[in-house]
């Protein structure tokens, strides 16, 4: 039996009202989930950001990263609070950053050596899986220097002497497994020679050892620059892709015929799981910062090349570096050295 027309209209109105109530309820439910996600994205950053630098205050990485974060803070509209957590060749601070909540409020410098120490068991995180890469910023200028009175007038002199006296020539560096040790040993491997490596706690102690005549050479970042300019030291080679304007007579290792480039680039990263919208804001902020005049000046003061790459290309260089480090670890027997 059909319903009267009046009853049909009432039924339709009831169904329509019920649908509106259900949809309203669903909307309220969806909005209830927004504060933890979408709303956090839209107002990020709403408070200061912590930046973990895994090196001591006053060093070359510290100086350039402070200049970089100061510029990024201007773009983001919030302070970036600098925190030095040094130790274990940069791995203590790196581990602290990667273990933080991935909300964009804890970021930090990513040392290139994560590609090595993660494989050696000194960092529990996998750089290929556990880092949200934001930007590569700059490199370091490494080189080989000797005292001015040394018999080694050129890199060729050094190679010839090392071939004639395997394992006899000593060099100071700032720690087994670090960039200066591994870079020097990679050069020795390509040159078919061997040195006697002498590790120190840092570049300052290594430099004192060279100046005091306790070792024949130093493999270090640009700590040697003022001593070369004063005439106390002779720079035999630099390890970057190009010669330094300040020291145009010092060849790169490639110029000298050895296919080795070491610049240990500094980058910026965050823990894995960072929201894509927050990631995009950080990428843009550090892109602007890395191309700023003040950052370039900070790098120029320590002969540090600006090597900016955005997140995707930065990740690719880490992946390539990881594969190269796998080969170096085996070739140089680093596991046996580090223990």
Per-residue model confidence as pLDDT tens digits over 82-92: 999 988 888 99
Which of 203, 238, 273 is the C-terminal boundary of a domain?
238
Greater pLDDT, 33 or 175: 175
In a 13 Å sphere around the CA of 139, the CA atoms on its Cβ side amount to 19
Rounded to two decimals, the pTM is 0.77
Domain assignment of residue 287, yes or no: yes
Both 134 and 270 in one domain: the answer is yes
Q: Is the pLDDT of residue 29 over 60?
A: no
Average pLDDT taken over every residue of the chain: 88
Domain assignment of residue 34, yes or no: no
Both 107 and 147 in one domain: the answer is no
Q: Is the pLDDT of residue 205 over 90?
A: no
| Number of other CB atoms surrounding residue 27 within 10 Å | 10
> What's the DSSP call for residue 123?
-
Going by pLDDT thresholds of 50, 70 and 90, the confidence category of residue 56 is confident
Both 157 and 77 in one domain: the answer is no
pLDDT at 27: 46
Helices 276-290 and 60-76: crossing angle in degrees, nearest 10, is: 120
Average pLDDT over residues 37-62: 83
CA distance 336 to 339: 5
Going by pLDDT thresholds of 50, 70 and 90, the confidence category of residue 57 is confident
Q: Could you tell me where the beta strands, DSSP code E, fall in 54-120?
A: 80-84, 106-111
Domain assignment of residue 272, yes or no: yes
Both 133 and 147 in one domain: the answer is no
Residues 6+ apart with CB under 8 A from 128: 318, 319, 322
| Number of other CB atoms surrounding residue 75 within 10 Å | 16
pLDDT at 99: 97
Both 273 and 126 in one domain: the answer is yes
Q: Into how many domains does the chain fold? A: 2
Q: Is the pLDDT of residue 46 over 60?
A: yes
From residue 306, give the alpha-carbon distance in Å to each of 97, 150, 202, 234, 244: 23, 33, 24, 25, 13
pLDDT at 175: 80
Domain assignment of residue 27, yes or no: no
Residue pLDDT, tens place only, 208-223: 999 999 999 999 988 8
CATH of the domain at 269: 3.40.190.150
Task: Give the DSSP per-residue string, 136-164.
Answer: EEE----EEEEETT-S--SHHHHHHHHHH
Domain assignment of residue 56, yes or no: yes
Q: Is the pLDDT of residue 305 over 80?
A: yes
Both 123 and 164 in one domain: the answer is no
CATH of the domain at 191: 3.40.190.10
Q: Is the pLDDT of residue 137 over 50?
A: yes
pLDDT at 203: 78
Helix (H) or strand (E) holding 314: helix 311-331
pLDDT at 339: 65
Which residues sit opposite 233 in a β-bridge? 147
Both 232 and 188 in one domain: the answer is yes
Give the SS3 label for residue 222: helix
Going by pLDDT thresholds of 50, 70 and 90, the confidence category of residue 326 is very high
CA distance 138 to 159: 30
Burial class (CB in 10 A: 0-12, 13-18, 19+), 296: middle
pLDDT at 41: 61
Q: Are 259 and 101 in contact (CB under 8 A)?
A: no
Radius of gyration, CA atoms only, the chain: 27
Domain assignment of residue 253, yes or no: no
Both 134 and 147 in one domain: the answer is no
CA distance 277 to 264: 29
pLDDT at 53: 94
Both 114 and 58 in one domain: the answer is yes
Both 234 and 292 in one domain: the answer is no
Q: Is the pLDDT of residue 18 over 90?
A: no
Helices 179-191 and 155-164: crossing angle in degrees, nearest 10, is: 70
CB contact burial 28-58 (16+ within 10 A = b; e otherwise): eeeeeeeeeeeebeeebbeeebbbbbbbeee
User: Which domain does 157 fall in, by range?
Assistant: 143-238
Both 221 and 86 in one domain: the answer is no
Q: Are 147 and 210 in contact (CB under 8 A)?
A: yes
Both 132 and 272 in one domain: the answer is yes
């Amino acid at each position: 039996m059909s319903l009267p027309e009046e009853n049909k209209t009432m039924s339709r109105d009831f169904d329509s009202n019920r649908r509106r109530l259900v949809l309203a309820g669903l909307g309220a439910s969806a909005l209830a989930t927004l504060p933890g996600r979408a709303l956090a994205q839209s107002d990020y950053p709403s408070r200061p950001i912590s930046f973990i630098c895994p090196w001591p205050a006053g060093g070359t990485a510290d100086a350039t990263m402070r200049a970089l974060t100061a510029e990024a803070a201007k773009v983001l509209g919030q302070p970036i609070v600098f925190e030095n957590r040094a130790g274990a060749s940069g791995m203590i601070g790196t581990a602290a950053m990667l273990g933080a909540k991935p909300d964009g409020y804890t970021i930090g410098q990513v040392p290139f050596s994560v590609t090595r120490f993660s494989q050696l068991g000194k960092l529990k995180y996998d750089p290929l899986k556990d880092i949200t890469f934001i930007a590569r910023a700059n490199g370091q200028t490494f080189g080989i220097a000797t005292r001015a009175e040394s018999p080694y007038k050129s890199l060729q002199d050094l190679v010839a002497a090392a071939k004639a006296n395997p394992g006899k020539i000593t060099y100071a560096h700032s720690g087994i497994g670090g960039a200066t040790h591994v870079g020097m040993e990679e050069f020795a491997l390509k040159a078919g020679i061997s040195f006697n490596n002498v590790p120190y706690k840092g570049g300052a102690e290594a430099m004192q050892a060279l100046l005091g005549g306790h070792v024949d050479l130093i493999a270090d970042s640009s700590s040697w620059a003022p001593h070369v300019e004063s005439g106390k030291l002779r720079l035999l080679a630099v390890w970057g892709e190009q010669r330094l304007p300040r020291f145009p007579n010092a060849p790169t290792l490639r110029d000298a015929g050895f296919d080795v480039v070491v610049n240990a680039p500094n980058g910026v990263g965050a823990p894995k799981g960072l929201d894509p919208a927050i990631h995009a804001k950080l990428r843009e902020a550090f892109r602007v910062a890395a191309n700023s005049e003040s950052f370039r000046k900070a790098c120029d003061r320590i002969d540090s090349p600006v090597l900016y790459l955005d997140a995707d290309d930065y990740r690719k260089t880490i992946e390539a570096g990881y594969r190269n480090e796998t080969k170096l670890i085996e070739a140089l027997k680093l596991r046996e050295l580090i223990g």
